Amino acid sequence: MIEYPVDSGQDRALPADPGKQVTRDASGVGIAVGLSGFAFGVMAVSSGLSVPQACALSLFVFTGASQFALVSALASGSAPATAAAGALVLGLRNCLYGLRLSTLLRLPRWLHPLAAHWVIDETTVVALAQRNRASARRGFAVTGVTLYLFWNLTTLGGALGAGALGDPAAWGLDAAGPAVFLALLAPMLRGTVERTAAAGAVLLALAGLPLLPAGLPVLVAGLAAPLALLVAGRRDGDGAGTVPGPEAV
């Protein structure tokens, strides 16, 4: 674990009270992204779900992209099994995040069933951005708590208010999701390998969209990660140990 200072488990020279800074940044992400639960609540109910159904999704699925995918599939008349399969495929990336987080956070085994529910895009990104294990754990927990709280409260608010609001698209709320993903992605694009992976993923996703069932283009685009490593390896001659960890702040 030489490439990632976060994995050394040792504190380095840090600014005064880094814990407070981590808490502030993490709760900022949690609150901002959590507020977009409003868009989900509105969309779910205007797609024909009941308020309890919209809330159950945010409480128990708690991974935004899968929730949006499930609702839009059901609204377009997919069979329940097909809709669930699409949502699950989209949720598979959380498995990869979990793999990454398990070595970063090194949580005790008894905490896994609880922590697992919070293994999503935002908590992973915040945890990976920290420079040591203590900060990563704090970032993960604070993002998880605030995001879970706000996401569920705003889902309820959006679901209850959907009738009054009308079409969520008229309010531009359908742009909140991609803007959130872009804001999470931007700080990761530090090196050539990361940019290659992102560009490759965009091309694969666009090519896959008309060809593959919903949910699969994202997974196919994930292949851009190993492809970018191959390209980088070829450029460097051997590629061993030359790829910088994007989280090494």
Window 22 to 51, contacts with other proteins (CB under 8 A) = 28-29, 31-33, 35-36, 49
Judged by CB under 8 A, the stretch of 15-23, 129-137, 154-162, 165-173 that binds other proteins is 165-173
Of the candidates 4, 226, 183, the residue with the CA atom closest to the CA atom of residue 105 = 4
> How many Cα neighbours within 13 Å face the side chain of 202?
9
* Residue from 130, 133, 137, 247 binding other proteins (CB under 8 A): 247
Nearer to other proteins, 13 or 221 (CB): 221
Distance CA 184, CA 169 (A): 22
* Residue from 22, 45, 65, 147 binding other proteins (CB under 8 A): 65
Distance CA 119, CA 125 (A): 10
Nearer to other proteins, 13 or 60 (CB): 60
Structure-block tokens of residue 128: 């990976």
Site mask, other proteins, residues 112-151, x = CB under 8 A? xx-xxx-xxx--xx--x-----------------------
Residues 2-21 that bind other proteins (CB under 8 A): 3-4
213 alpha-carbon distance from chain centroid: 21
Task: Return the HEC string of 26-43.
Answer: HHHHHHHHHHCHHHHHHH
Structure-block tokens of residue 58: 């945010």
Contacts with other proteins by CB under 8 A: the residue count is 107
Please, is 126 exposed, middle or buried when counting C-beta atoms within 10 Å of its C-beta (0-12, 13-18, 19+)?
buried
Residues 81-110 that bind other proteins (CB under 8 A): 81, 83-84, 87-88, 91-103, 106-107, 109
Quickly count: other Cβ atoms within 10 Å of residue 164's Cβ: 7
Residues 208-227 that bind other proteins (CB under 8 A): 209-210, 214, 217-218, 221-226
Residues 226-245 that bind other proteins (CB under 8 A): 226, 228-229, 240-241, 243, 245
Residues 172-201 that bind other proteins (CB under 8 A): 172-186, 188-189, 193-194, 197-201
Question: Would you give the end-to-end CA distance of the chain in angstroms?
Answer: 15
Nearer to other proteins, 64 or 138 (CB): 64
Nearer to other proteins, 13 or 241 (CB): 241
| Phi, psi dihedral angles at 144 (to 5 degrees) | -60, -50
* Residue from 46, 66, 152, 155 binding other proteins (CB under 8 A): 66
Nearer to other proteins, 13 or 108 (CB): 108
- 249 in contact with other proteins (CB under 8 A): no
Residue partners of 232: CB distance under 8 A and separation at least 6: 192, 193, 196, 239, 242, 243
- Report the nearest approach of other proteins to the CB of residue 225 (Å): 4
Structure-block tokens of residue 124: 């992973």
